[in-house]
Amino acid sequence: MSDETGMTIDVLRHSAAHLLAHAVLDLYPETKTGIGPAVETGYYYDFLREKAFTPEDLEAIEKRMKELARENVPVERLVLAKEEAVRMFEEKKQELKVELIREKGEATVTVYRQGPFADFCLGPHVPSTGALQHVKLLSVSGAYWKGDERGPQMQRIYGTVSFSKKELEDHLRLLEEAKKRDHRRLGAELDLFSTNDELGGGLILWHPKGARVRAVIEQHWRERHWAGGYDILFTPHIGRAALWQTSGHLGFYKDSMYSPMDIDDQAYYLKPMNCPFHIQIYKSRMRSYRDLPLRWAELGTVYRYERSGTLHGLLRVRGFTQDDAHIICTPGQIEEEILRVLDFSVSLLADFGFTDNKIELSVRDPKNPAKYCGADDLWCRAEASLVKALETRGLAYERMEGEAVFYGPKIDIKIKDALGRLWQCTTIQFDFNMSERFDMTFVGEDGKEHRPYMVHRALLGSLERFFGVLIEHYNGSFPLWLAPVQAVVLPIAERHENYARSLDRMLQANGLRSTVDLSREKVGKKIREAEVQKIPLILVVGDKEVERRSASLRVHGQGDKGEVDVALFLEKAKEFHQNKISTMNF
């Protein structure tokens, strides 16, 4: 998104973060400033201050921001020698900025200045504060300096900004709707999952109803994979250090791995990825070109270190189950296999209601080759194969320099939810390094040994993250085939309970996940509770229904559908369930 001058929304947001810090220092000059990046919904800035910011403080800060915007203060870009920049912020008594400059600054650093306020920053920024008329502060929360719980406790102020008043109003409505759909709130209200400080941050407890949805997702995933020519694997959660040394993870990925465990005087690591285990299965015997391609998939639980300040419900966790797969093939098969994965990805995401996708091609950062392993010609060949697959399918994509993983380029597919937000799900990663590192071979038609190619891919990403996205996309009102409880039977009085139980048994016998509410509450309250729990089908039974062997139907989100014949109802409900139809029409 940009305005008529070509200014992007990220530049506007980052500039608004500077305006926020400027206003805070004007009002509370003793405050120490941290960092202030643009984020997906706006921006934030971290501050170190003894006294907590109050709602009244936020109102005063926002008022000062708008005053500074009206003053149209010019924004200057300064290029300073590193030590000169250090002295500037030492004079301002901004010790955290001095720390950042010493850590990240090179021989020269850029500083952006607007009036008395200055910030160490790469930019770019708006030419003057007059471009920041439409700002709004949203909230304040705690954060650790650099995301490290051992560091100082900061206060993080969140805000948003838009190019026009109407865009700001529209964006604020979107944020309000997003707040209502927050998977953490809905997860608690619908009793789907929880986290627990006693257990540890970033570790998810799946409650019975959430686990039921997960089981449905997993079974559909398995059936689609078996139908798509994949075999399913299971592998351990830990492996010896030598395995991760060979794979390159200890060299390139160690900061995201947990500390080793000492077992029989040898170091073992929790697995951050599944690929080395799949390779060990491949190497368990000699392979021929006739065996290839091999398509091996696993719902493998992995563990990756995330700083506590970055954890966020189901969306950013430390232990998660990845719908991982590895395709091992000959060089001549690679393009066809990537096409198969692309088609499979788009089809599987559509099963869950996601048909509007954005595709990114992540390649190396040419300025930082040390981050990657493998020869240049292999990288070029791999990238060309991914490009060819995308172009063959006529799929538009955005090239993302520097976003490749250390062992190869990748295709990322981001899904768009009901609010138009993009979520990273599918990753298709080309790998020509692992086969070399692990000395993987196959016997070709010529009787000689050759190196296979590998494709790493995850379609849903992690089940935790995907479930969080599903909750927010559907606002907790899952389509019938995914709903943890698909139907509830509500007897009006005690004399109707036997019929309600028999109806519940009939629903279950027809493959529907149902329950019966035998509480002594009035039926109106039972209906309200079923609606709050977002149960798709609500069957009310009283004297008339018992006599006619029928039921009164309510459909969540649609209201009262009147009396229905049970046999006809079951026929339709089974059709909606089995065919994964999202809109029910009774």
Strands (E), 434-505: 442-443, 449-450, 453-462, 487-491
User: What pLDDT, on a 0 to 100 scale, did the predictor assign at position 309?
Assistant: 74
Provide the token pair at 209. Answer: 């109803």
User: What pLDDT, on a 0 to 100 scale, did the predictor assign at position 118?
Assistant: 95
Q: Domain 9-177: which CATH class?
A: alpha beta
User: What pLDDT, on a 0 to 100 scale, did the predictor assign at position 430?
Assistant: 85
CA dist 559 and 539 (Å) reads 12
List, for the chain, all residue ranges whose pLDDT scores fall below the cut of 70: 1-6, 407
Of 468, 513, 516, 538, the residue nearest 212 (C-alpha): 513
User: What pLDDT, on a 0 to 100 scale, did the predictor assign at position 1?
Assistant: 58
CA dist 203 and 320 (Å) reads 8
Q: Are strands 294-303 and 231-232 parallel, antiparallel or unpaired?
A: parallel
Select the CATH number that applies to the domain covering 212-236+274-473 from these four: 3.30.565.10, 1.10.940.10, 1.10.760.10, 3.30.930.10: 3.30.930.10
Provide the token pair at 422. Answer: 């993009």
Classify residue 387 by burial, with Cβ atoms within 10 Å: 0-12, 13-18, 19+.
middle
DSSP track, 414-433: EEE-TTS-EEEEEEEEEESS
User: What pLDDT, on a 0 to 100 scale, did the predictor assign at position 66?
Assistant: 97
A 10 A CB-CB count for 430 gives 28
Length of the chain as a residue count = 586
Could you state, in order of their start, the residue ranges of all structural domains in the chain? Answer: 9-177, 212-236+274-473, 487-578
Give the model confidence (pLDDT) of 17-36 as tens digits: 999 999 999 999 999 999 99
In contact, 426 and 413? CB cutoff 8 Å:
yes
CATH 3.40.50.800 fits 487-578, yes or no: yes
Q: Which helix (H) or strand (E) holds 38?
A: strand 38-39
User: What pLDDT, on a 0 to 100 scale, did the predictor assign at position 492?
Assistant: 97
CA dist 417 and 26 (Å) reads 40
Known catalytic residues are 275, 304, 322, 324, 326, 410, 456
User: What pLDDT, on a 0 to 100 scale, did the predictor assign at position 376?
Assistant: 76
Q: Which helix (H) or strand (E) holds 263?
A: strand 261-263
The single-letter DSSP state of residue 184 is: H
User: What pLDDT, on a 0 to 100 scale, did the predictor assign at position 88?
Assistant: 95
Of 293, 317, 319, 320, the residue nearest 460 (C-alpha): 320
A 10 A CB-CB count for 47 gives 22
Model's pTM, two decimal places?
0.86
User: What pLDDT, on a 0 to 100 scale, did the predictor assign at position 4?
Assistant: 52
